[in-house]
Amino acid sequence: MYKAMDIAQYVVNYSIEKDNPVSNLKLQKLLYYIQDAFLVEKGEPCFIIVF
């Protein structure tokens, strides 16, 4: 399992590298889809958000 901040940072860095930066809302949606895909493929969450 990964930290949510690490996944978010990877997505932000990747999008900047591809010259297509993400907004806060787009990042939130992408994290939702990443979590969904991980649950379907692995059967466990990719990350857990802890406050």
Smallest CA-to-CA distance from 36 within 28, 15, 22, 9 is with 28
Using a pLDDT cut of 70, give the percent of the chain over it: 98
Q: 26-43: per-residue pLDDT in tens?
A: 999 999 999 999 999 999
Report which secondary-structure segment, H or E, holds 15: helix 4-17
pLDDT number for residue 51: 64
Q: What pTM was estimated for this model as a whole? A: 0.84
pLDDT of 1 > 90? The answer is: no
Domain ranges of the chain: 4-42
How far is residue 47's CA from residue 35's CA, in Å, rounded to a whole number? 7
- Exposure string of 22-31, with b = 16+ CB inside 10 Å and e = fewer, is beeeebeebb
pLDDT number for residue 27: 97
Residue 2, beta-bridge partner list: 47
Smallest CA-to-CA distance from 8 within 22, 18, 20 is with 22
